[in-house]
């Protein structure tokens, strides 16, 4: 169980509140996903073809995605053969380990690329209804708490009520919103926002954009233009382009990540509504197949339920029960 020990050590230096948030937010995933794996181990005892088929179903039902699942299962089979594992109980830690490996590709990159001095511009993109505006609201709150000077840009000029929604968040958090009237050119809004951010010496500018389905060519082009305008004003901006993904989304999330990635060089993913779904396995598929790091996760509806994604915490949140049991066993 050295793997779990290492994991435990890694997270002990972090505050308990963060650990708790992850643990709470992942309750549903843990109960359904890990619970199922536990049942599987109990029911099968022996590691055989049927065992793996069942495991395949569990992983697929968590939206991990067919390709990733197939590869994972193959690796596990190999592992079982080489380590000569025949008892189901013994394969369980190997499963956790493999999943953790997928998530923990590298640690540094989950941090946002913040400018030490000067303005940091973060552009938010994504399909309709994933929670872009809400995420911006929550992130603004976070930065404000850190004592930063935050400004919001109401770049969703299309959807009815979108500007007002961002304004309500602005009021709640106590930051200003740069806006134009509904229907105006989003690129023009960005231009305005950058000028204001410069003149006010803002630290962070969070840019909202209208949700768009990734197969709408013209709308994707509009997004490219928005980004171009930002880059023209500040050469190394946007410093982050965050793709907001709904955790309940299935395999289409892959297509979203790919297409938005091509159009805007997505630098990270914000996975929202993770507390509501028993799934969120799409994180694994994205890590595995696209290599875009998940940087933030939405673990609840509260203002401070948006958390920096930490692979260790995520894995710990998932396997909290297994971990405790392992500790008990070690203590005896």
Partner 1 sequence: MAFEGLAERLQGTLNKIRGKGKVSEADVKEMMREVRLALLEADVNFKVVKEFIAKVKERAIGQEVLQSLTPGQQVIKVVNEELTALMGGEQSKIAVSTKPPTVVMMVGLQGAGKTTTTGKLANYLRKKQNRQPLMVAADIYRPAAIKQLETLGKQLDMPVFSMGDKVSPVEIAKNAMDKAKEDHHDYVLIDTAGRLHVDEDLMKELEEIKELTKPDEILLVVDAMTGQDAVNVAESFNERLGITGVVLTKLDGDTRGGAALSVKAVTDTPIKFAGMGEKVDALEPFHPERMASRILGMGDVLTLIEKAQSSVDEEKAKELERKMRTNDLTFDDFLEQLNQVKSMGPLDELLNMMPGAGKMKGLKNVQVDDKQLGHIEAIVQSMTKAEKQDPSLLNASRRRRIAKGSGTSVQEVNRLIKQFGEMKKMMKQMSGMQKGKGKKKKGGFNLPFM
Question: Phi and psi dihedrals of 197, rounded to 5?
Answer: -60, -40
Using rule CB under 8 A, residue 161 touches partner 1: yes
Using rule CB under 8 A, residue 130 touches partner 1: yes
Q: Which DSSP state fits 40?
A: H
Distance CA 94, CA 98 (A): 6
**Considering beta carbons, is residue 226 or 234 the nearer one to partner 1?**
226
Total residues at interface with partner 1 (CB under 8 A) = 49
Tell the smallest beta-carbon distance from residue 87 to partner 1 (Å). 26
Which of 157, 165, 307, 313 is close enough to bind partner 1 by CB under 8 A?
A: 165
**Considering beta carbons, is residue 197 or 263 the nearer one to partner 1?**
263
Tell the smallest beta-carbon distance from residue 249 to partner 1 (Å). 5
Tell the smallest beta-carbon distance from residue 285 to partner 1 (Å). 10
281-300: contacts with partner 1 (CB under 8 A): 282
Burial profile 291-320: b = 16 or more Cβ within 10 angstroms, e = fewer:
ebbbbbbbbbeebebbbebbbbbbbbbbbb
Distance CA 140, CA 175 (A): 8
Which of 19, 68, 92, 277 is close enough to bind partner 1 by CB under 8 A?
A: 277
Tell the smallest beta-carbon distance from residue 140 to partner 1 (Å). 13
One symbol per residue from 245 to 274: x for binding partner 1 (CB under 8 A), - otherwise; what is it? Answer: -x-xxxxxxxx--x--------------x-
Using rule CB under 8 A, residue 123 touches partner 1: no
* Backbone dihedral region for residue 73 (phi beyond 0: left; psi -120 to 50: alpha; all else: beta): alpha
**Considering beta carbons, is residue 1 or 168 the nearer one to partner 1?**
168
Using rule CB under 8 A, residue 159 touches partner 1: yes
Using rule CB under 8 A, residue 129 touches partner 1: yes
Q: Following DSSP, what letter does each residue of 92-106 receive, concatenated?
A: HHHHHHHHHHHH-S-
Using rule CB under 8 A, residue 182 touches partner 1: yes
Distance CA 58, CA 63 (A): 9
Burial profile 134-157: b = 16 or more Cβ within 10 angstroms, e = fewer:
bbbbbbbbbbeeeebbbbbbbbbb
For the chain, state the CA radius of gyration. Answer: 21
Distance CA 92, CA 96 (A): 7
Binding site for partner 1 (CB under 8 A): 28, 57, 60-63, 65-66, 127-131, 137, 158-162, 164-165, 167-169, 172, 182, 213-218, 246, 248-255, 258, 273, 275-279, 282
């Amino acid at each position: 169980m050295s793997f779990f020990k290492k994991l435990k050590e890694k997270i002990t230096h972090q505050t308990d509140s963060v650990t708790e948030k992850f643990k709470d937010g992942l309750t549903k995933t843990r109960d359904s996903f890990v619970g199922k794996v536990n049942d599987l181990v109990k029911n099968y005892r022996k590691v055989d073809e049927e065992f793996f088929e069942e495991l395949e179903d569990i992983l697929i039902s968590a939206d991990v995605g067919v390709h990733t699942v197939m590869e994972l299962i193959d690796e596990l089979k190999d592992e079982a053969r080489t380590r000569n594992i025949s008892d189901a109980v013994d394969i369980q830690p190997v499963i956790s380990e493999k999943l953790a490996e997928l998530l923990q590709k590298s640690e540094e990159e989950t941090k946002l690329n913040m400018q030490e001095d000067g303005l940091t511009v973060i552009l938010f993109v994504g399909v309709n209804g994933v929670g872009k505006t809400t995420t911006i609201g929550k992130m603004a709150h976070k930065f404000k708490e850190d004592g930063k000077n935050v400004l919001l840009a109401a770049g969703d000029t299309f959807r009815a009520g979108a500007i007002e929604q961002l304004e309500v968040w602005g009021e709640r958090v106590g930051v200003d919103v740069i806006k134009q009237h509904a229907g105006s050119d989003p690129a023009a809004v960005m231009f305005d926002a950058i000028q204001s951010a410069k003149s006010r010496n803002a630290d962070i500018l969070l840019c909202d954009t209208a949700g768009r389905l990734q197969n709408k060519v013209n709308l994707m082009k509009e997004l490219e233009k928005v980004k171009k305008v930002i880059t023209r004003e500040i050469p190394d901006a946007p410093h982050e382009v965050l793709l907001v993904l709904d955790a309940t989304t299935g395999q289409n999330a892959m297509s979203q990540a790919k297409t938005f990635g091509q159009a805007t060089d997505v630098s990270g993913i914000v996975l929202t509504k993770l507390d509501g779904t028993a799934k969120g396995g799409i994180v694994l598929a994205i890590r595995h197949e696209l290599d875009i790091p998940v940087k933030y996760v939405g673990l609840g509806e509260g203002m401070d339920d948006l958390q920096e994604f930490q692979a260790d915490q995520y894995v710990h949140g998932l396997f909290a029960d297994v971990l405790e049991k392992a500790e008990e066993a070690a203590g005896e």
